[in-house]
Amino acid sequence: MIRESKLVSRHMLVIVLALLLFCIGPLSIVSAQEVGASVANGVTIKLDGKIVKITDPVLVLDGRLYVPIAHIAAMFDANISWDKDNEEATIHTVFKDKIVLGNGVPVVYFNDGRYRMDVAPFVTDGRTYIPLRHVAELLHAKVDFSPEDKIVDLETVHPAVTTENYGIDQTVTPSILDKKAEPFSEKDLLLLAKITQVEAGYESYEGQLGIANVILNRVKDFRFPDSIYGVIYSGNQFPPAHNGLLDKSKPSASVLRAAKDALNGKNNVENAVYFYNSKVSKGSFWSSLKVIVTIGHHSFAK
């Protein structure tokens, strides 16, 4: 009985520490309503048949259940850390897996690989949320949800149940392992960061992310070259590539984060392929463009 009490105390301590950790640092302060989510009232979460109390709300967005990853990871005795500068959660599981999730970034780092989720985690009300099924699979748990009864059943898999490939039962291998993210080189990352630094080093992270995405949007657009290098060095679209400024560019931490996030699929300018300062760029061409969003000094358009 004493041993069981100690285990419960340890379990609760892990949860409390995790929750305190995820309240530290300036997060993207938005409400659930601002991201289009609503509270899933009356949802009960069970772990191995026992009801688990979660103080933070479970959310519904586009018909899917989202849960705070700090709570769920702690339930499985995973260690969590939060990088406030890059807005990334890193989870170390009892299976020795390392999981890195970024705010608004659809690509998840799982051990040595990069994989694309169909949706991105988001931060709201100081908590990082991810679809329930995604986080359950990443933690190698089985999940069953009954919409009628509003009951979520999570089932742990004992570490002793192993296989040669993934160290766990194949029935709970994360499905994202079949969805490898498109690779990028360190050379591409640095080049993208350098041009972003020159064009928007003085802007906010959001403005820098927008510039990086214009470059990547052009790579995907048939009207432009199909590589980051080709887009940046083609013609005179980016004068810094030809006057020496690009070579001298030293990306800041914020710019490096923006370039990496963009390469990992975080896009805040949709399919914009142009950016310009409306106070500087005048003429029929610029006025003919459809502006998608304005961030800082730049309008992003197509």
Please state, as a whole number, how many other Cβ atoms lie within 10 Å of the Cβ of residue 223.
6
Q: Return the pLDDT at 125.
A: 86
pLDDT per position as a tens digit, 132-151: 999 898 998 888 888 888 89
Taking residues 194-218, report their average pLDDT: 97
Q: What pLDDT, on the 0 to 100 scale, is given for residue 13?
A: 40
The residue from 115, 144, 178 where one domain ends is 178
Q: Are residues 148 and 7 in the same domain?
A: yes
Looking at residue 270, its pLDDT comes to: 96
Contact 266, 122 (CB under 8 A): no
157 and 271 housed in the same domain: no
Instruction: Report residue 1's pLDDT band, with 50, 70 and 90 as the boundaries.
Output: very low
Q: What is the pLDDT of residue 102?
A: 96
Q: Does residue 8 carry a pLDDT above 50? A: no
98 and 245 fall within a common domain: no
pLDDT recorded at residue 25: 36
Quick: pLDDT tens for 103-124.
999 999 999 999 999 999 999 9
pLDDT at 257: 98
Residue 216 to residue 209: CA distance in whole angstroms: 11
For residue 71, what is the domain's CATH number?
3.30.457.10
Are residues 200 and 243 located together in one domain of the fold? yes
Q: Is 71 exposed, middle or buried (0-12, 13-18, 19+ CB in 10 A)?
A: buried
Listing DSSP states for the chain in one string gives: -HHHHHHHHHHHHHHHHHHHHTTSS------TTTTT-EE-TT-EEEETTEEE--SSPPEEETTEEEEEHHHHHHHTT-EEEEETTTTEEEEE-TTS-EEEEETT--EEEETTEEEE-SS--EEETTEEEEEHHHHHHHTT-EEEEETTTTEEEEE---TTS--TTTSS-GGGS-GGGGSBPPP--HHHHHHHHHHHHHHHTTS-HHHHHHHHHHHHHHHHSTTS-SSHHHHHHSTTS-THHHHSHHHH----HHHHHHHHHHHTT--SSTT--EEE-TTT--SHHHHHS-EEEEETTEEEE-
Best mean pLDDT range from 29-43, 257-271, 279-293? 257-271
**pLDDT tens digits for range 221-243:** 999 999 999 999 998 889 999 99
Per-residue confidence band for 278, with pLDDT thresholds at 50, 70 and 90 = confident
Strand-by-strand arrangement of the 50-52 sheet:
50-52, 44-47, 151-155, 142-146
Highest mean pLDDT, choosing among 16-20, 146-150, 193-197: 193-197
Residues 173 and 195 in one domain: no
Lowest-pLDDT range of 101-105, 244-248, 279-283: 279-283
What total number of domains does the chain contain?
Answer: 2
Looking at residue 90, its amino acid is T
CATH number of residue 247's parent domain: 1.10.10.2520
Q: How far is it, in rounded angstroms, from Cα 130 to Cα 114? A: 17
User: Rounded mean pLDDT of 265-292?
Assistant: 92
Structural domain harbouring 161? 2-178
Tokens at 215, concatenated: 């470059």
Counting Cβ atoms within 10 Å, is residue 248 exposed (0-12), middle (13-18) or buried (19+)? exposed
Alpha-carbon distance of 218 to 294, in angstroms, equals 18
How are strands ordered across the β-sheet holding 107-110? 79-83, 88-92, 98-102, 107-110, 113-116
pLDDT tens-place string over residues 45-85: 999 999 988 888 899 988 889 999 988 898 889 999 999 99
Last residue of a domain, one of 178, 196, 220: 178
Domain's final residue, options 117, 148, 178: 178
pLDDT single digits (tens) 283-298: 899 999 999 999 999 9
> What integer is the mean pLDDT of 166-182?
74
